[in-house]
Structure 1
Amino acid sequence: MQLETYISDLLYRYECVTIPEFGAFLTQRTSATLDDATNSFYPPKKMVSFNEQIQKNDGLLTHYIADLEKIPYEVASEKIAKRVNSIKSYLTQGETVTFKNIGDITFNVEGKILFEPIYQLNYLTDSFGLSQLVSPKVSREVYKEEVEAIEKVIPLTITPEKRKAKPYFKYAAVALIALTLGGLVSSRYYIEQIEKHNQIAQEKAFQQLDAKIEQATFNLNPLPAITLNVTKQSGNYHVIAGAFRVEDNCELIISQLKAQGFNARTIGVNKYGLHEVVYGSYETAEEALQILHSIRKTHNEDAWLLVKDLDLVN
């Protein structure tokens, strides 16, 4: 009977496998380790140890052997006892008993069991497929010492004549710093203006919800229609015609606006759950404000401007 094979199978699933009247193999999970001497990385694993004080039969090993060999429990128990007697006989004679893929067991001078684990097999199933990794040593300090040694032999200096001959390095550095600071200030100012404009526009739209949007209608002023050559459908500046809770109402409004010469469309749902319809979208703020002014004057005085990057939202 290959007792060590059965024990090895059980060590994958259990932390304690007891051999009745002999002792127990125990496993304990350890984290990944690094051997500085060999630059080797070891994955997490189960460390195997042996405790001869645990000898009471818990039935785990016996039931496992009985199920695999299709024999009664009592017969399996007798086979284990016979194997244990054989192991003890070898140990008494000073021999080493090897449990394959587990470890070696011997008696010391006091007659106590000594166990030396074998690391050929990792019983931690979470680390299946992970192996030892050896990485070349990175010698950063060595390179630093070499540079310091070179500097001592050949000092790096800049004479006053060289500094006078190439003054443009100083001006180039100053210009680079100025451009960087200017770009940061401009970018920050632009972002703050967009956020401020969005907040004001959204608050105004929210205040008009109960009066206009809940009815899911869109009333156009009885003013003369205007014809605008609006072809652009890209850009972050959107002239809003209205916001509607019922999406079907958007199609009716879009059809009316297109009939009047606008490139109307929807740009999605805002944070209030309303579908927004735009007269059009524009690349620059100047163009959008010009269109908005004309629409408010001759078509819809409640139109407003929304600044939003639709690509970021999508």
Structure 2
Amino acid sequence: MHQDSERRVVVVPAYTCPLVALAVAHCGLELRVCELLPDSLDMDPAHLSQLCDANTLAVIPTHLAGRIADVPTACRIAHAFDAWVIEDAAQALGATVEGRSVGLQGDVAFFSLAVGKGLTMFEGGVLFTAHDALRAPLHNAASTEAPARIGWELRRSVELLGYAALYRPAGLRLAYGRPLRRDLARHDWIAAAGDEFDLDIPLHRPGAWRQSVARRALMRLPGFLVQTAQGAARWRACLQNIAGLTCMGDAAGQGVWPVMLVLLPDQTVRDAVLNRLWGSGYGLSLPFVHTLPDYAYLRAVVPAAESDALPNARALAGRLLAIGNSPWVTDADRTVVCEVLKEALAAAVRG
């Protein structure tokens, strides 16, 4: 899209996946980070309006962890400057607004089919648009930026086969649990959360076999969504009775539930819960450890923020907790997690 424009600025939420910042840098564009509303994943409209100008190419609202972002507000502000809206729906495959898939309110959107998304071809995703005039340019850009590379495709195919072989609790504990516990023992939360990425993103087109895997997986999506929605309902029944905790939901639409996002009163409580349960098999983790400006390795591509800037985004990053909602979570697991949350909150009240 930017190849036919002199505009260079892309605006993203201050709290989002570091890969978004790396993608902007890969395209040779300038990143601007937007403050969030208090206790929210949505960008602050007032700050977004200040960041947008005649040099703004795109604004990227994020449907983080399946929660539905306020895309209409982003569209209203971005379109006033003739900028595009790109919906980051990487973690929201299956989410809908007014009966239509997320990704259709903005100009362009993408879903991820990477590992860890439930339905996967290990790496890759789907780029789409509702605008007829944008389909050919996007297709051409994808063909140019992500050519067929046999070496990478062989590697991803082997990784996918290995993932399929290990896709059960015992296998995943072996493949992911041991490295996770090692990173936690080193107090390296960025590595434990999977937040550190190579600055050089290896782009290539998925091969025919992995594409066929993705198509077959798509047939299982409706059942998978029902299963995770039922799991989310059981989590809410457990979490909603815990004073001092907010279970984040959707203001509009029907989101999806790869994880439960829980907002705790402060970082001390959140970290106490993580120190007890992260790496213990209960599926607790962080969506992302920091706001984008606070990752040291991103300093070359993310503008620095003053220590008192982005207070809402930084507060969210310090208080947010992700709780796994896989089909293997049991009611006994939920009881353990909820009891630990209650104990941490009670300890904070006692002081």
Fold-level similarity (TM above 0.5): no
Higher relative contact order (CA 8 A, sep 6+): 2
User: TM-score interval w.r.t. the shorter chain?
Assistant: under 0.3
Whose strand proportion is higher, 1 or 2?
1
Structure ID, larger Rg: 1
